[in-house]
């Protein structure tokens, strides 16, 4: 039996009315036999071309597409006619039109012209960059970035850096704090600080400015703290016998404490939410803090001997007060000419001390002009031991020609003469507050000065039990005490 042809197996549904070649693409008009309806399509059998066939409602539209597809084949950009890609591109174009990004004014940025091609190029470069970063993150055991996450991270970091760049410098805050400290309300309770304390703050804040002044108040806590730690560890003495040597543990702790106080001030001024330097004092703890240094009696004797020289005698009352009453040096005299002890505060020399046999006198926190003259928080009565009284009496009798102790007027003081006495007697050696330390240590140990009041010398010298235990509670022999408290003019100048 003869096999049936393919055409007889299945009846034709369409007949071709016309065909026209547009280069590599054919445009075909078909008619459905049953209904007579017309259909139009394009065909292209080239490899890697998509779509191979495509239907259209009219001959014109089919011909236009064939022309475009053939042009794409000739220029090597066949993908432009892919339906899926065309749909996606149209979808993207619609999103761009909706966002109006192509119409934004970028004249103040690096972009002179924002085009669709530039958007795609930048996107591809960004995705490649994220991929490269993710390779590193995977090797480090970190989670991979999604493009959206990476972009948010970049934006957050950029905004942080921008915030840091626009924020005020630390130097501005340091200057503000310094102005407060040196004002008449710079201390606790809005009281004026001592000149010495003002000087300490000025020096400390200058150091902080050198270390972190050019940084921003928005810089990270870690970066700021690291800079201060490096500054403290690299600090060295700029004057004195130890010039050029690195700071001692005590000095490092002092600067760490100042930095911590600055951090607290930043919080109070609402620059920071927390004190970046709060832990610094703990980072620079002093393991073996030495006790306060004191002078032996023969050293003090030598000082008074050189002070009794004619050109130095005006300093004898000053030395008498700081060595034999425990007064702080600046409570008796300071660099400021206004800071001079007034003999009126001796209260007529009428209040004899039942403990030492000397005279009690008043040390006021503020002088008659309202200027701070003592570190304390309240006025106190100090105790001038008999040796101190004898030296002041000797001075006014032998130098001033007066038979009575002074009840008015200011104490005399000359920094130049004081330095000369120290240089001649001790080659300039003078530990900080050594006169006060010497008196307090010895007075507390001297059996002849015993009292039933355990806080007597704390009250007279104006310090706490904690300070006494830390600085002054060193053992002293009765022989040392006896020698010191008998350093009278008759003994030294015989």
- Tell whether 25 and 75 lie within a shared domain: yes
- Tell whether 429 and 467 lie within a shared domain: yes
Kindly state the percentage of the chain with pLDDT values over 90: 48
Residue 328 has pLDDT above 70, yes or no: yes
Residue-wise pLDDT tens digits, 435-470: 999 999 999 999 999 999 989 998 998 888 888 877
Q: Is 76 contained in some domain?
A: yes
- Tell whether 39 and 159 lie within a shared domain: no
pLDDT given for residue 10 in this prediction = 61
Residue 139 has pLDDT above 50, yes or no: yes
DSSP 3-state of 409: coil
Q: How far apart are CA 303 and CA 316, in angstroms?
A: 10
Before 51, cis peptide (omega within 30)? yes
Kindly state the percentage of the chain with pLDDT values over 70: 85
Q: Is 288 contained in some domain?
A: no
Edge-first strand order for the sheet with 14-22 is: 14-22, 25-32, 38-43, 53-56
- Tell whether 84 and 227 lie within a shared domain: no
- Tell whether 159 and 183 lie within a shared domain: no
- Tell whether 123 and 214 lie within a shared domain: no
Residue 224 has pLDDT above 70, yes or no: yes
Q: How far apart are CA 265 and CA 205, in angstroms?
A: 12
Residue 125, domain extent: 116-165
- Tell whether 451 and 319 lie within a shared domain: yes
- How confident is the prediction for the chain on average, in pLDDT? 85
Residue-wise pLDDT tens digits, 256-311: 999 999 999 999 988 888 999 999 999 998 776 666 789 999 999 999 999 999 99
- Tell whether 151 and 180 lie within a shared domain: no
The contacts of residue 472 (CB under 8 Å, 6+ apart) are 291, 292, 437, 440, 441, 444, 463
Domain holding 439: CATH number? Answer: 1.10.443
Q: Which of 236, 472, 462, 467 is nearest to 365 (CA)?
A: 462
Residue 78 has pLDDT above 60, yes or no: no
- Tell whether 323 and 342 lie within a shared domain: yes
Give me the sign of the Cα torsion angle 178, 180, 185, 188. Answer: negative
- Tell whether 236 and 345 lie within a shared domain: no
pLDDT given for residue 123 in this prediction = 79
Q: Is 272 contained in some domain?
A: yes
- Tell whether 382 and 477 lie within a shared domain: yes
Q: Which of 487, 97, 145, 448 is nearest to 319 (CA)?
A: 487
Q: Is 213 contained in some domain?
A: yes
Lowest mean pLDDT among 77-81, 175-179, 197-201, 316-320: 77-81
Q: Is 8 contained in some domain?
A: no
Contact 255, 204 (CB under 8 A): yes
Contact 48, 78 (CB under 8 A): yes
- Tell whether 331 and 479 lie within a shared domain: yes
Model confidence band, residue 375 (pLDDT cutoffs 50, 70, 90): low
What is each CA distance from 128 to 121, 135, 140, 149, 237, in whole angstroms?
Answer: 11, 11, 19, 15, 55
- Look at the chain and report how many structural domains it folds into: 4
- Name the percent of the chain in helix, strand, coil, to the closest 5: 55, 10, 35
Q: Which of 322, 321, 328, 221 is nearest to 279 (CA)?
A: 221
Q: Is 94 contained in some domain?
A: no
- The 3-class secondary structure across 301-325, one letter per residue, is HHHHHHHCCHHHHHHHHHHHHHHHC
pLDDT given for residue 414 in this prediction = 94
Residue 4 has pLDDT above 60, yes or no: no
Q: Is 98 contained in some domain?
A: no
Q: Is 123 contained in some domain?
A: yes
């Amino acid at each position: 039996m003869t096999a049936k042809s393919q055409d007889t197996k299945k009846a034709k549904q369409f007949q071709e009315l016309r065909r026209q070649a547009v280069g590599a693409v054919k445009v075909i008009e078909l008619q459905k036999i049953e209904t007579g309806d017309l259909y139009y399509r394009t065909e292209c059998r080239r490899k890697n071309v998509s779509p191979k066939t495509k239907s259209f409602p009219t001959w014109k539209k089919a011909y236009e597409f064939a022309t475009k597809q053939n042009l794409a084949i000739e220029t090597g950009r066949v993908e432009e006619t892919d339906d899926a890609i065309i749909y996606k591109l149209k979808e993207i174009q619609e999103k761009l039109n909706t966002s109006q990004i192509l119409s934004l004014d970028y004249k103040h940025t690096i972009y002179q012209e924002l085009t669709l091609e530039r958007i795609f190029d930048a996107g591809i470069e960004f995705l490649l960059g994220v991929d490269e970063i993710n390779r590193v993150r995977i090797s480090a055991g970190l989670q991979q970035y999604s493009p959206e996450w990476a972009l948010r991270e970049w934006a957050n970091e950029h905004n942080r850096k921008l915030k840091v760049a626009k924020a005020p410098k630390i130097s501005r805050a340091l200057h503000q704090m310094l102005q407060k400290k040196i004002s008449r309300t710079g201390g606790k309770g809005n009281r004026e600080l001592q000149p010495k304390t003002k000087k300490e703050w000025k020096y400390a804040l200058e150091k902080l400015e050198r270390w972190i002044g050019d940084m921003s108040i928005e810089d990270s806590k870690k970066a700021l703290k690291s800079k201060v730690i490096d500054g403290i560890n690299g600090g060295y003495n700029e004057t004195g016998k130890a010039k050029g040597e690195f700071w001692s543990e005590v000095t490092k702790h002092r600067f760490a404490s100042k930095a911590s106080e600055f951090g607290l001030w930043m919080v109070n001024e609402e620059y920071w939410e927390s004190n970046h330097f709060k832990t610094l004092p703990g980072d620079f703890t002093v393991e073996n803090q030495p006790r306060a240094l004191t002078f032996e009696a023969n050293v003090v004797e030598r000082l008074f001997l050189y002070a009794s020289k004619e050109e130095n005698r005006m300093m004898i009352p000053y030395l008498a007060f700081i060595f034999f009453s425990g007064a702080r040096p600046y409570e008796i005299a300071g660099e400021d000419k206004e800071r001079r002890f007034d003999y009126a505060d001796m209260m007529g020399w009428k209040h004899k001390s039942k403990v030492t046999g000397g005279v009690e006198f008043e040390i006021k926190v503020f002088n008659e002009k309202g200027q701070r003259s003592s570190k304390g928080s309240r006025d106190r009565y100090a105790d001038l031991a008999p040796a101190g009284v004898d030296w002041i009496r000797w001075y006014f009798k032998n130098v001033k020609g007066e038979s009575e102790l002074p009840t008015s007027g200011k104490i005399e003081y000359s920094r130049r003469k004081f330095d000369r006495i120290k240089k001649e007697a001790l080659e300039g050696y003078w530990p900080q507050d050594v006169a006060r330390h010497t008196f307090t240590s010895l007075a507390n140990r001297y059996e002849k000065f015993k009292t039933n009041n355990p806080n007597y010398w704390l009250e007279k010298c104006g310090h706490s039990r904690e300070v006494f235990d830390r600085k002054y509670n060193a053992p002293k022999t009765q022989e040392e005490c006896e020698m010191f408290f008998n350093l009278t003019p008759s003994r030294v100048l015989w």
